[in-house]
Amino acid sequence: MFQIGEALVGEGNEVAHIDLMIGEKDSPVGKAFANGMSNLSVGHTPLLAVIRPNLPCKPYTLLVPKVTIKDLDQASQIFGPAQAAVAKAVADSVEDGVLPKNKLEELVIVCSVFVHPKAEDARKIFHYNYGATRLALRRAVDGYPSVEKIMYDKDRAKHPIAGFRVPRLWMPPYLQIAIDITDIDKVKKVISEAPDSDRILLEVGTPLIKSEGAKVIRKLREIAKDKFIIADLKTLDVGQIEADIAFNETADAVVASGLASIDTLNKFIYEAKRLGIYAFVDMMDVEEPLTVLKALKDTPNVVILHRSIDTEDRAKAKWGIIKEIKTQFKNKKILCAVAGGIKPDTAAKALKAGADILIVGRHITQSKDIERTCRDFISLLGEDIDQYRVHVE
């Protein structure tokens, strides 16, 4: 046996975070157990979990403090409520049948324990560490999480301690507000008046970036901390460098022009995906978007079917190829965005054609009631994503 478990339980300074390994004494876990007891490090002294002095639990469990112990107050919290909590949780897990009674002498556990230096309440330290250890043990034995759960939750969950959410495009359709205005005060007004919905994406438009520089992305991040922000650079050359620029300024996605060379687009898509941001390719004025997509080494995350502002009165929307794109690349997670004169009445038609993202600019940014106008579009998109966000377990 070589099982791994993890659990976070509680709140405040007493929050408990447990990482543990279970394995036979002659397994890598057994070696780690022996090394931990014989190779001590300052501030991280491992200790056996005991229910009370002179009564260790079985399987024998080695506690390893995650936080450097600097004084006796901290030491008493580890050599007290935390130690007892872990030992009691192991013993109760044996009693409940989570750990096999017939293998208690064969197995050992290495348990990494977090106790915040500012933790004060001994009862909470015990309570939270007991619960986290019980949960981590159960998860280790059950092989939790399954691959299916990881794939399902990875873009839905929010880490409670990170302090921000990394938004991902996991539940289309979305409304993308194209902010092409160059007055920074008006830009902030648009962002502040837009509804607080996960269905809204913010596009830092090309005119705004040209006016203020790429650093405007970081400035807007300060007032739109958890929003999905797209840097519309319309890259035509040095695709790798421009993807780096967008990433360094905290953008979640970056846009290249489909008119760029295939070599440029390949480097652009590779770099964006390497950095973990979304690669958008804007097919404005591209005669055969499918031909471009088929020529690429890898597909972009999002394809934009775009009528330019200067031609939207006479150019025909290319929504008809959405179905073909999704058929041709059905094994890829490729989203289709539509842009160019999108209004609530045309938005419904675009969604029916299979659009995943509605890109709307002037109709929102020049509206006298930005919130209401946004909600007109959001009403077409379905329920708010927050209703389906995964709760911390």
pLDDT tens per residue, range 117-172: 999 999 999 999 999 999 999 999 999 999 998 988 887 777 777 767 778 898 89
pLDDT given at position 275: 96
Calculate the alpha carbon distances from 140 to 5, 65, 111, 153, 166 in Å: 4, 20, 12, 19, 27
pLDDT at 11 over 80: yes
Contact indicator for 90, 108 with CB cutoff of 8 Å: no
- pLDDT tens, position by position, 199-255: 999 999 999 999 999 999 999 999 998 899 999 999 999 999 999 999 999 999 999
pLDDT in tens, 241-284: 999 999 999 999 999 999 999 999 999 999 999 999 999 999 99
Whether 17 is catalytic = yes
**Distance between CA atoms of 124 and 107, rounded to whole angstroms?**
29
β strands within 258-320, DSSP E: 278-282, 302-306
Domain 174-388, CATH: 3.20.20.70
Q: In the CATH scheme, what is the code of domain 2-144?
A: 3.30.230.60
Q: Do domains 2-144 and 174-388 have the same CATH topology?
A: no
Say which residues have a Cβ less than 8 Å from residue 205's Cβ, sequence separation at least 6. Answer: 178, 179, 180, 181, 232, 361
Domain ranges of the chain: 2-144, 174-388
Neighbouring residues of 250: CB distance < 8 A, sequence distance ≥ 6? 217, 218, 221, 229
Question: Please, which pLDDT band fits residue 292 given cuts at 50, 70 and 90?
Answer: very high
What is the pLDDT, as a whole number, of residue 165?
Answer: 73
Catalytic option among 17, 116, 306, 391: 17
